[in-house]
Amino acid sequence: MYAQMVETGVKQVKALDDMSPEERVFQEKIDAEIKIEPKNWMPDAYRKTLIRQVSQHAHSEIVGMLPEGNWVTRAPTLKRKLQLMAKIQDEAGHGLYLYSAMETLGADRDEEVEKLHSGRAKYSSIFNYPTLNWADMGAVGWLVDGAAIVNQVVLQRTSYGPYSRAMIRICKEESFHQRQGYEILLTMMRQGNDAQKAMVQDAINRLWWPALMMFGPSDADSPNSAQSMAWKIKRHTNDELRQRFIDQTVPQLEILGCSAPDPDLKWNAERGHYDFGEIQWDEFFDVIKGNGPCNRERLETRRNAISDGTWVRRAAVAHANKKKQRAAA
């Protein structure tokens, strides 16, 4: 039983013997794989951890629309444009779905969005990198959605019911995103000219390491992992999922005929996994502190979207009120 193991990660996890009777019943439910539902008793810290994770996840989906939104007007064909718009709309849906899951924990959506806009809330580091060429749309789908899926497939079994159910639907859509991204890159590599092939390699060179950073700091530096694993909010550690992603992505990289910007990437038959080079953690922590290449631009775009849309929301409310008055007359 995980809770009895008392992980010695960065934060200490409470042993079963030190828990209040309520906490003990709660932990036993978790250990028996019974989902926690909104009206069930839960420790404050469990609620807080989930609000933190689910809100960050929702913000990531919403901010994650921006690097791709940059390419809607420049997609090379009508088919590509429709696919890209469908993908971006899916991400908006995921964000709204996740904000709803977060509200079931008692969090206020406006307050959490305000934390994002004022730079107090985190969202995935990956979306602070620019998307510079059309191949980036393929690489985002393949690598970024690919990494998101590896993380989210296991979250389908997370202990909080509304979050786990949201993940089931979201994962189905992310699989489509991943495949359409890979297909963009395959088309460019198999039918493209030398310049287009070079664009694919350039996109991979820029997005490879940031995609690996999506899984979060290494386990030794992940303050939340031990407790989140004990509560089964997280089902695998950051490093386990990063390794899983690399192992499944390298064969796809080889099919593309491209390489990763990592001279240390090689199959280790003894471990049964790929070895890989050192991640630049300074860069990761700098990006999550707000100093990535696009952090300021992303937040400004979100703030402007809210202020520019004020008149639409007011008009919608006025229209709804008018309809209500007519119906009552």
SS3 175: helix
Q: Which residue has the tokens 């994770």?
A: 53
**Which pairs from 162-167 meet CB under 8 Å and 24+ separation?**
162/37, 162/38, 162/100, 162/101, 162/104, 163/50, 163/54, 163/98, 163/101, 164/35, 166/94, 166/97, 166/98, 166/100, 166/101
Cα gap 136→183, rounded to integer Å: 12
Least spacing, CB of residue 57 vs ligand FAQ, in Å: 3
Site for ligand FAQ in 116-135 (CB under 6 A): 122, 124-125
Q: Judged by CB under 6 A, does residue 217 bind ligand FAQ?
A: yes
Q: State which residue, 148 or 256, has the beta carbon closest to ligand FAQ.
A: 148
Closest to 135 measured CA to CA, from 202, 190, 87: 202
**256 vs 288, beta carbon nearer ligand FAQ:** 288
Looking up tokens 């952090």 gives: 295
222 interacts with ligand FAQ by CB under 6 A: yes
Q: Which is nearer to ligand FAQ, 140 or 153 (CB)?
A: 140
Binding mask 18-37 for ligand FAQ (x = CB under 6 A): --------------------
Closest distance of CB 324 from ligand FAQ, Å: 36
Concatenated DSSP letters of 60-127: HHHHTHHHHHTTGGG-SSHHHHHHHHHHHHHHHHHHHHHHHHHHTTT--HHHHHHHHHTT-S---GGG
Instruction: Tell whether residue 173 is a contact of ligand FAQ (CB under 6 A).
Output: no
Quick check: 148 binds ligand FAQ (CB under 6 A)?
A: yes
Q: What is the smallest separation between the CB atom of 17 and ligand FAQ, expressed in angstroms?
A: 25
The CB-of-128 to ligand FAQ minimum distance in angstroms stands at 9
> Does residue 151 touch ligand FAQ according to CB under 6 A?
yes
* Interacting residue with ligand FAQ among 38, 119, 130, 223 (CB under 6 A): 223
Based on the shown chain and the rule CB under 6 A, indicate whether residue 260 belongs to the binding site for ligand FAQ. Answer: no
In the complex with ligand FAQ, which residue's Cβ is closer, 76 or 93? Answer: 93
- Alpha-carbon Rg for the chain, nearest whole angstrom, is 22
Smallest CA-to-CA distance from 214 within 51, 320, 56, 91 is with: 56
Binding site residues, ligand FAQ, CB under 6 A = 52-53, 56-57, 60-61, 64, 91, 122, 124-125, 140, 144-145, 148, 151, 213-217, 222-225, 228, 234, 238, 288
